[in-house]
Amino acid sequence: QHKSPSMTFQVRHQSAVTGKRIIITGGLGQIGQRLAAHLRAKYGQESVLLTDVKKPTKEVLKDGPYEYADILDYNQLKRLVVNHGADWLIHFSALLSAVGEQNVPLAVKVNINGLHNILNIANDFGLRLFVPSTIGAFGVDSPKNPTPDFCIQRPKTIYGVAKVHAELMGEYYKERFGLDFRSLRYPGIISADLQLGGGTTDYAVMMFYHALTSGHFTCGLRPDTRMPMMHIDDCITSTLKFMETPEEKLKQRVYNISAMSFTPQEISDEIKKYIPEFQVTYKGNPLLQGIADSWPDVFEDVNARRDWGHYHHYDITRLAEFMMDNFKQQLD
C-alpha cells in the first residue's frame, strides 16, 4: 500500500513518542540478531535496523529491516542514522581476540578507526551509544580473581588494546561533549549457534557442538584454563536493562558483568553428564593459550548489580542443560 509523505511522518512521529529507534552494527554476529529480536518485541519490528557487511539469510530479512553498513564509511552511516531517525546506536562490529591477532591491520581499521566514526556519529546526532567491552580489556598485570571494574589494564592483544581505547574514548566524549556513552565488559558469551567471531572463549560453544556431532573435541586450551562466561540470554537481558537505565543512576560509564567462570575440564565434565563417552583431547594452541592466560579468572561485577540491577539466571548446570537441548533440537 502506498503511503503518502504525511502518513510516513505520522508513523515516524508515533514511534518516536512511544519507543526507541535503534541501529545495530555488526548485527549478524553472535549477539546482534538475538538482541534485535528482544528490542523489536519491545519497541516494534520496524524500530530496529540491523546492519552488517554480510549477506543476510531470508530469515533475517523476514524478521525486520536490514541494511548493508560499512562502519568505515562515515557518510553511509550518517545516511542510515538520518533515514532511520535513530535514537540509539548499538555497535557490535569488531574482530574478536584470536582473529584480530591474525590480521592486525584490519583489526586496527575496524576496531579503532571504525569506532571513531561511530563515536562521532553518535555525538553529532545526540544518540545513546552502546559499545561492548570485554574481559579481554585486561591483561597479565590485572588482578585475576576477582578482576574489579577499576584496576590496571594492559592487554596484550590488539582486540584488548582497541577495547581499552574505546572505553577511554567513550568516557572522554561523555565528559567533554556529553555523549551518552555506555559500555559493558562482557565475559565469553555462550549461545547455541555457530555465528562466532573468532574469539578465545568460542571453544566452549564448539565443545557442545562436537560432543553432539562426533563425540570428540580437540581443545586448544589447557584443561585448567579458567575464564568468566555468560549465557547469551543473561547478556541480552542485562544489555537491555543497562540501556534503559536513566542516566542519573549510572555512576560510571563502563561496568563489568559476570555470571560464572569455568575451565574446559569443568565444562566437559558437565557435558559428560549427558554424553558419558564424550572425549576431549587437549592440544595446546600457543596463541589461544597466551590470550586466555592473560585474561581474568573471575570477574567482579558488584557495581553493575548495585547501580542498575544486573543479575544472572544461568549457572554452569543450567547453561549445559540449555546448550544440550538447543543444539540437539537443531541437529535432529
- Binding positions for ligand AKB, rule: CB under 6 A: 96-97, 134-136, 159, 186, 188, 199-201
In angstroms, the CA 332 to CA 330 distance is 6
In angstroms, the CA 187 to CA 138 distance is 11
In angstroms, the CA 211 to CA 194 distance is 14
- Shortest distance in whole angstroms from residue 186 CB to ligand AKB: 6
Q: Which of the residues 159, 173, 203, 314 is marked catalytic?
A: 159
Instruction: State the residue for C-alpha cell 538475538.
Output: 34
- Closer residue to ligand AKB, CB minimum distance, 159 or 327: 159
In angstroms, the CA 202 to CA 200 distance is 6
- Shortest distance in whole angstroms from residue 188 CB to ligand AKB: 5
Q: Is 159 among the residues known to form the active site?
A: yes
Grid cell at residue 76: 553511509
Nearest to 272 by CA among 215, 196, 192: 215
- Closer residue to ligand AKB, CB minimum distance, 67 or 293: 293
- Shortest distance in whole angstroms from residue 5 CB to ligand AKB: 44
- Closer residue to ligand AKB, CB minimum distance, 77 or 131: 131
Nearest to 131 by CA among 48, 219, 31: 31
Instruction: State the residue for C-alpha cell 554452569.
Output: 316
Ranked by CB distance to ligand AKB, the top (closest) residue is 199
The set of catalytic residues is 159
